A = this chain, B = another copy of it.
Amino acid sequence: QTVESDERALINVEEGISISKDSLFLLNLRFRMQNRAGFNTVSGDLLNVNEYEMRVRRLRLRLDGFVLSPRVQYYIQLAFSKADLDLESGDIAQPIRDAIIYYTFNKNFYVGFGQSKLPGNRQRVNSSGNLQFADRSVVNGLFTLDRDFGFFGYYTFNFPNESILQLKGAISTGDGRNASKINDGLAYTGRLEILPFGNFKNNGDYSEGDIAFETDPKLSLGLTFSKNNKANRTGGQLGQELYEFRDMNSLIIDGVFKYQGWAVLSEYMNRTSPDPITTNALGDVRFVVVGGGVN
């Protein structure tokens, strides 16, 4: 099974429908369904069931491939479950998760234009099919950069000693997926990744657990800085609307180490804002979610 990347289109996949026509056209069509049943207890002492949660957690349709030439790739992901449509936190159905076109200059450099995941913390960029647990962490939920719409760039340096340096950057709206609010404040995100012992097997730096079983130790360290100007949501790309626009800065440091079936992952996230609190005329308060956390 190929480990999915949420940072580029997949051209060679073994599952799903795949239709091609010479090197003029390729369409891979796949879907992912995750059903869930669980329960909560009132407290750790009394193990009475308090609530059951049973539902379709994720239901996604993914189309990727290329048009005209293998250099021009596209990646579209639609989502249909209630949580995926953002209908648990809002009223507006949002079926589009990813909709981006990539142009590949050479094997080390490609750029994208559209809506996709920002090069933020590692856990967020991991595809939901590659997580160890069904959901991401609470820290991820509070401070992640999530998805955004804009221009993306990815560059890879290969050093003679097998070390790899990756530069990733994005200029985006800063207002999250399917935003209709527009102002003149953009978000600037840069990320640096160092893989001193070379590439992981099967994109293993972006999956949890060492399923591929690395015979040599592999390490990836990442550092992201993101500046979001005039953001209008409490978490930048996510959260409730603020009463006034605010600037915010995010710092993310993360790493993953895998060796012979063992995997260690950690990430530190921090968000600051010069003036996090906004109020409306009635005195209600909404504030930028500032602070930090460690996974």
Contact = CB atoms under 8 A, between A and B. Distances in A.
A172 B54 contact: yes
A11 interface: no
Interface size class of A (residues with CB under 8 A): 35 or more
Contacts of A262: none
A76 interface: yes
Contact of A55 (B17, B29, B63, B149): B149
A81 B178 contact: yes
A164 B183 CA distance: 50
A93 B87 contact: yes
A113 B99 CA distance: 31
Contact of A54 (B59, B85, B95, B149): B149
> Secondary structure at chain A's binding surface: helix, strand, loop or mixed?
strand
Interface of A: 15-17, 19, 25, 27, 29, 31, 33, 35, 37, 39, 48-56, 59, 63, 67, 74, 76, 78, 80-82, 85, 87-88, 91-96, 99-101, 113-115, 149-151, 172-173, 178-180, 182-184, 186
The 4 residue pairs across chains A and B that have the minimum distance between CB atoms = A93-B93, A35-B114, A56-B99, A80-B95
